[in-house]
Amino acid sequence: MPKILVIHGPNLDLLGTREVGIYGEITIDEINGELRQAAKRGNVDIEIIQSNHEGEIVDIIGKAKKNKVCAILINPAAYTHTSVAIRDAIAASGVPAVEVHLSNIYAREEFRHTSLIAPVAKGQVSGFGKTSYLLGLEAAILLAKK
Ligand code: DQA
């Protein structure tokens, strides 16, 4: 079965208690549960990680091809707006990536309007809460099966 790697970036482990007015009350475990179910229905293997560390995310993306990952679903969180290293890792990986955000980054502070990741992603879903992840996973499944 094609394998999809899901990467949650910094502070997403705090979902459920973190700025609930913006991100809602859903926890990362609840999101992961829905992703696992959707992956099962889509007949793909799924591996999910969360990291607060830029270098660790770079390392994981760097090993994706070798680990037979067919597509990456990533919420780079704050690193979306700052990380040339994660952008370069995605570009170098040769693995298609889908970028997702719970909130609509274009409707928030100006510093969130720029994604360094978007130009190297296949596409982006932003603003639909957990549905951003589920829509992004659908796209990642299509890319993984291509
Ligand atoms: C986020 C948006 C980012 O701007 C922010 O730094 C996050 C979460 C989102 O999912 O809406 O941590 O990626």
Q: Is the CB of 105 under 6 A from ligand 1?
A: yes
Percent of the chain with pLDDT over 90: 99
106 CB contacts (<8 Å, ≥6 apart)?
112, 113, 126, 127
Range of the domain at 25: 3-144
Bridge-partner residues for 4, per DSSP? 46, 71
**Residue 33: per-residue pLDDT:** 98
Total number of domains in the chain = 1
Q: Is the CB of 101 under 6 A from ligand 1?
A: yes
Q: d(Cα 41, Cα 55) in Å, to the nearest integer?
A: 33
Q: Is the CB of 103 under 6 A from ligand 1?
A: yes
Q: Per residue in 44-90, pLDDT tens? A: 999 999 999 999 999 999 999 999 999 999 999 999 999 999 999 99
Q: Per residue in 93-111, pLDDT tens? A: 999 999 999 999 999 999 9
What CATH number did the domain enclosing 100 receive?
Answer: 3.40.50.9100
CB atoms near residue 146 (< 10 Å) = 9
The rounded mean pLDDT for the chain is 98
Active site residue 101: yes
Active site residue 53: no
Nearest residue by C-alpha to atom 12 in ligand 1: 77
Predicted TM-score (pTM) of this structure: 0.98
CB atoms near residue 62 (< 10 Å) = 15
